[in-house]
Amino acid sequence: MENLFVTIAGDLRRKAAWCYGGGRCSMLKVLVTDGTAAMVLYRLMQWSSRRGLAPLAMLFNKVNAVFCHCVVGRHAEFGPGFVMVHSAGVFINSGVRGGANVTVYQQVTLGGEGARVPTLGDGVLIAAGAKVVGPVRIGDGATVAANSLVLGHVPPHTTVLGVPARPVWGGGPRPAARVPAVAAAGAEGARP
């Protein structure tokens, strides 16, 4: 249970740094910000699923859907530092896997059929309205621009845009003012 709270605290610290620059006041703002309840409910659902508490996981899933307008499959897995900036309209298929420090905006779909679902690397940003469909890999540090439709693999540190999505920038880390990361344990706060 302690690990659950460490993970949730790391997610909240990362969201505070992302949305408000970090600090005590920003943490208080994050606690009442859209998307935060969905993040916490997702982590509670994930924790319940891992322990074989399917009825409890289903309850957290339904509460998330009804009150946060967000559907995250019960077996979706994201590493520490997972941030949902806004939860309205987010749909994440049950088989989706995401690394550490993944950021998702509103109206995002990460889906497919059965096991044919996306895998996201570390530090991935999925902007508002983007759709990532099928068995594609989104590389570490990649960005999917708003309202893009991703049907193929995205190389690391590449920004894709359009329908269908095509690379518009790549070849290195994002500019410095991007997503703050949390330490792997989720307890160290933001780092450059």
- The pLDDT tens digits of the residues spanning 77-117 come to 999 999 999 999 999 999 999 999 999 999 999 998 888 99
- Looking from the CA of 178 toward its CB, the CA atoms found within 13 Å total 17
Q: What is the CATH number of domain 2-173?
A: 2.160.10.10
Domain boundaries, the chain: 2-173
- Provide mean pLDDT across the span 50-70: 94
- pTM attached to this predicted model: 0.84
- Provide mean pLDDT across the span 144-170: 93
Show Cβ contacts of residue 121 under 8 Å, excluding neighbours closer than 6 positions. 99, 137, 138, 139, 140, 141, 142, 156
